């Protein structure tokens, strides 16, 4: 009887933790540093907060990674994806401008203006931009879920994440905590495969 109780307890723990561990398993071996990223046609930069004066520090660090990927010839283009509504301070406009200011040619930057959620971004860049292979760029805490969702959407994805802990400790801690709930929603997205909120450009 005791063995069955232990087995049931272990099984229950595995099931309870599955939503939080699957992104790490699904992205294993695909989370890289810039210098070890295999060449891909495009980098997809996930949106984050834009401030009146430009990208927030965390968003700027994501964009800096994309600049490095482009400068080192690891990607040919960059797609920025986020919420470009006024209420979000036009994230993708801010992101595009930052990349151009830092040396990425304007004709090498595309904008997905309705990437409201990570799943939406993955589906939209696949369907609207024809992306089948990409480097996903975000913060390290967001990277496993991002790569896992991109792969679930049919994109041959690797990812680069900015650690950010030393520079933005509070935001980074909040980001890791937020991933607990976000992993559950992401698992639902993989199973249900909802259409993005907006399916057109």
Assess whether pLDDT exceeds 60 at residue 10. Answer: no
In a domain, 198, yes or no: no
pLDDT band at 9 (very low <50, low <70, confident <90, very high): very low
Alpha-carbon distance 141 to 163, whole Å? 8
Range of the domain at 124: 2-192
State how far the alpha carbon of 105 is from the alpha carbons of 102, 162, 166, 173, in Å: 9, 23, 30, 34
CB 161 within 8 A of CB 144: no
Assess whether pLDDT exceeds 60 at residue 17. Answer: no
149's CB contacts (< 8 A; 6+ apart) are 23, 118, 119, 122, 186, 189, 190
Mean pLDDT, rounded, of the chain = 87
Alpha-carbon distance 105 to 108, whole Å? 5
DSSP 74: S
Q: How many domains, the chain? A: 1
In a domain, 163, yes or no: yes
In a domain, 97, yes or no: yes
Assess whether pLDDT exceeds 70 at residue 135. Answer: yes
Assess whether pLDDT exceeds 80 at residue 14. Answer: no
In a domain, 24, yes or no: yes
The pLDDT tens digits for 48-74 are: 999 999 999 999 999 999 999 999 999
**What is the predicted pLDDT for the residue at 16?**
43
End-to-end Cα, the chain, rounded Å = 59
Assess whether pLDDT exceeds 90 at residue 40. Answer: yes
3-state secondary structure of 56: coil
In a domain, 49, yes or no: yes
In a domain, 156, yes or no: yes
- What mean pLDDT comes out for the span 163-192? 72
In a domain, 28, yes or no: yes
Higher pLDDT, 96 or 141: 96
pLDDT band at 151 (very low <50, low <70, confident <90, very high): very high
**What is the predicted pLDDT for the residue at 164?**
72
In a domain, 36, yes or no: yes
99: domain CATH number is 3.40.50.620
**What is the predicted pLDDT for the residue at 201?**
84
């Amino acid at each position: 009887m005791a063995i069955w109780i232990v087995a049931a307890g272990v099984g229950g723990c595995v099931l309870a933790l599955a939503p939080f561990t699957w992104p790490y398993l699904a992205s294993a071996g695909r989370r890289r540093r810039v210098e070890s990223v295999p060449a891909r046609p495009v980098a997809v930069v996930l949106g984050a907060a834009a401030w009146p004066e430009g990208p927030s520090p965390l968003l700027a660090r994501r964009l800096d990674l994309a600049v490095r990927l482009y400068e080192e010839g690891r990607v040919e283009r960059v797609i920025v994806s986020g919420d470009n509504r006024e209420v979000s301070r036009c994230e993708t406009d801010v992101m595009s401008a930052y990349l151009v200011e830092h040396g990425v040619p304007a004709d090498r930057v595309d904008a997905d203006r309705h990437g409201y959620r990570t799943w939406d971004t993955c589906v939209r860049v696949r369907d609207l931009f024809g992306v089948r292979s990409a480097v996903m760029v975000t913060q390290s805490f967001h990277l496993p879920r991002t790569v896992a969702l991109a792969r679930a959407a049919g994109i041959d994805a690797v990812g680069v994440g900015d650690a950010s802990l030393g520079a933005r400790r509070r935001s980074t801690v909040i980001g890791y905590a937020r991933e607990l709930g976000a992993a559950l929603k992401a698992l639902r997205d993989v199973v249900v495969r909802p259409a993005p909120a907006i399916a057109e450009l």
